[in-house]
Amino acid sequence: MKGSEQPKKRFIDYPRQGRAGRRRWLPSWRQQLGAAAVGAAGLAGLFVTVYVQVDIPDENAASRQEATVYYWADGSQMVSEGAVNRQNVTLAQVPDSVEHAVIAAENASFYSDSGVSLSGIARAAVNMAKGEEAQGGSTITQQFVKNTYLSQDQTLKRKVKEFFIALKLDNRKSKSEILQGYLNTSYFGRNSFGIQAAANAYYGIPAKSLDPSQGAALAALLKGAEQYDPALSDANHERAVERWKWILDREVATGLMSREERARYTTFPEPRKPVTPTSQKGQTGYLVDAAKKYLRSRTDLTDRDLARGGYRIHTTFEKDKVALLAKAVEDERRRSIDPKKRAADAYVEFGAASVRPRDGAVVALYGGPDATKHFANNADTAGVPAGSAFKPFVLATALREGSTEAAEAVPGPGGPSPAVALPSALYEGLVTSAHPPFVSAGKRLGLEKIRDLALDAGLHKSSLAKLEPTFPLGTSTPSAIRLAGAYSLFSNDGNRSEPYSVTKVVHDGKPLPGLEPPEPRRVLTTEAARSVTFALRAFAWKALPQEAVAKLPQGVAAGGTGPADRMRSAWFIGNDGAPRGGLTTAVTVFRAQPGAPRLLPMEGVGGDARLFGNGIPPRIWGAYATAYAAGTAK
């Protein structure tokens, strides 16, 4: 009978017969087990398919690498950084202790693993899902694959290819061959690829002469030379020392070094100072340094990427103005500084930067006498207090907060009457470099509001001093580039333009995104900015040599330090008053003995004990500004 017929059996009993409600849609344990088996088989098949299809590509031969070229603002070539700096060595030429340090730091299971890290590829996938870079822990084999066969792109596709190529490579090459390749292709900073180039760059010796302590210091650089080259900053030095200690301890923990030997290494092996290529002598090395720093702040490019070559970097630097600024500094150095006559003239340093206010372009800088001999870039260094050059930001805060203190009538040098009433005590204090009105203003306005305006103007938070009563007097330590950029706020009608030094980067014929000039941002009203400029013109008239004032009749506005300053620095930051904002240039003079933690006193610098060197920056600025103004007029 039809009513007694049994339902036909299906190949897959789903939805399940003979079940009601939710149970009808719940797979049985056999179905779940079968699905898992099919899924596993599918994954295994996919794994095998990809493994077969992905082959080991040809090596990225160093001979095919192009130089990285830097260009002036007019498009002419400034300098090129040459071919990859690498000298291959065999593993026999690398001490065992150096190999041990690298393995302990990067991949302790190197000799026992299959060349890949599943957790690393999983982290990369998670990061990609979050919209972040596909970064994750990689084995030495995977890093060797990335260095030798693939690009440095942080994408999931590249990470997957790296995984499968590493698996194949681990089957085809011995661990010794892989480690040798890794040591010869890894980037250690200072334009050095490979352990041999690194040993020379940091210690001036071949790799075979490295001791265990030096080997651990170099192994620390594999985590990122920008963060672990101890010569680049105090923070870098601290990180390098900590990682050096960790690597030595890690060697003990992994059985690669005895505790007795570890106990012998208690002092960090300080590397020698970086050496700039002779092609970057004079100001060129400082310009390249500033451009690289800007690129690191705006893009994913690292020094390693640039050292590999192939980039075309177009800068904002104007060749004629760089030359004129250097001439102005060196002429004043020869005229005023004589260490053989005066002990106070020993260790005198100069720094300067020239910024175009309307868009923030850095058109010139002076970083020191020669980048191949004096590595620190004085135009972009923090640590030199601004002194009274900081006071315009206090005056600007008072105007932004609506101070109602009336200004006294001030004829002549300030130009037309101020657009907004100036607090008279602050006006007089700025012109005469007096301190008490600004200490009082700090109490009245609140130090936080002064700090906030300085940040809005473009000073870096890391350069700002503690909020103490002396904060309005300029205890903060901005660089010349930052201070010139911040002063541009006043000549640009209250709009702040972020300083920039690179307009375009081209790689493989394509421009890199993200390098459009920063958009100006309003910080002050036009009226408030012009009122600050009124006060700055009065200061400029008082501080500048009169011959410079006569040659620049368009209304020079400037701030700077004065005889009342005792902060071991001299500054002058001036705008030439030319149409469309002109140029704002910051000049600083200070004394710094190599290796000393603090700046030296400025009393007597240049032969005048009363001025504390404060007459020098205005003369440099005047010589530079009148020279480029004369060139523009031709």
- Higher local confidence (pLDDT), 129 or 477: 477
Domain contains 216? yes
One domain, residues 348 and 214: no
Asked if 232 and 327 sit in the same domain, the reply is no
Q: What pLDDT is recorded for position 171?
A: 79
Give the Cα separation of 301 and 312 in Å (integer): 13
Contacts of 619 (CB under 8 A, 6+ apart): 332, 336, 545
Question: Which of 263, 282, 315 is where one domain is finished?
Answer: 263
Nearest to 406 by CA among 418, 397, 414: 418
**Alpha-carbon distances, residue 328 vs 17, 188, 232, 336, 368 (angstroms):** 94, 38, 28, 12, 13
Residues 616 and 486 in one domain: yes
**Is the domain of 247 the same as that of 342?**
no
Which range of residues forms the domain containing residue 599?
323-400+443-633
Residue 301 falls inside a structural domain: no
More confident site: 324 or 580: 324
Whether 304 is covered by a domain: the verdict is no
**What mean pLDDT do residues 589-617 have?**
91
- Give the tens place of pLDDT for each residue, 206-234: 999 999 999 999 999 999 998 999 998 88
Scored b (16 or more CB within 10 A) or e, 477-508 reads: bbbbbbbbbbbbbbbbbbbbbbbbbbeebebe
Domain total for the chain?
Answer: 2
> Looking at the domain assignment, is residue 537 inside a domain?
yes
**Tokens 């006060």 sit at which residue?**
535
136 domain residue, yes or no: yes
Per-residue pLDDT, 132: 47
pLDDT of residue 135: 45
Q: Which two tokens stand for residue 268?
A: 């960090």
pLDDT at position 618 is 96
CA 321 to centroid of chain Cα atoms: 24
The CATH number of the domain holding residue 197 is 1.10.3810.10
Q: What is the mean pLDDT of residues 50-76?
A: 65
Residue 414 lies in a domain: no
Q: Is there a single domain that holds both residue 227 and residue 330?
A: no
508 domain residue, yes or no: yes
What the block records as the tokens of 378 is 């004085």
**Spatial distance between the Cα atoms of 495 and 1, rounded to a whole number of angstroms:** 93
Rounded Cα distance between 178 and 172, Å, is 10
Beta strands in 372-522 (DSSP E): 495-496, 502-507, 510-511, 521-522
Are 244 and 351 part of one and the same domain?
no
Which of 263, 278, 311 is the last residue in one of the domains?
Answer: 263
The pLDDT tens digits of the residues spanning 283-302 come to: 999 999 999 999 999 998 88
Query: Does residue 104 carry a pLDDT above 90?
Result: yes
Global confidence as pTM = 0.76
Helix, strand, coil distribution of the chain in percent, nearest 5: 50, 10, 40
Whether residue 380 is predicted with pLDDT greater than 80 in this model: the reply is yes
Summarised one tens digit per residue, pLDDT across range 122-180 is 555 555 454 544 444 588 988 888 877 765 555 556 667 777 787 777 878 899 999 99
Domain check: are 483 and 555 in the same one?
yes
Tens digits of residue pLDDT in 506-517: 988 889 988 988
- Angle of helix 436-445 relative to helix 447-457, nearest 10 degrees, comes to 100
Give me the pLDDT at residue 144, please. Answer: 85
Residue 440 in this model has a pLDDT that exceeds 60? yes
Domain termination residue (choose one: 263, 290, 308)? 263
Asked if residue 480 has pLDDT above 60, the reply is yes
Task: Look at residue 79 and give its three-state secondary structure.
Answer: strand
Residue 504's CATH number: 3.40.710.10
Tell me which range, 5-19, 135-149, 459-473, is most confidently predicted by mean pLDDT: 459-473
Say whether both 120 and 204 belong to one domain: yes
Do residues 242 and 339 share a domain?
no
Domain for residue 16, yes or no?
no
- 512 and 393, same domain (yes or no): yes
pLDDT band at 54 (very low <50, low <70, confident <90, very high): very low
- CA-based diameter of the chain, in Å? 126
Please give the pLDDT value at position 121: 59
For the chain, give the mean pLDDT: 85
Asked if 107 and 215 sit in the same domain, the reply is yes
- 339 shares a domain with 190: no
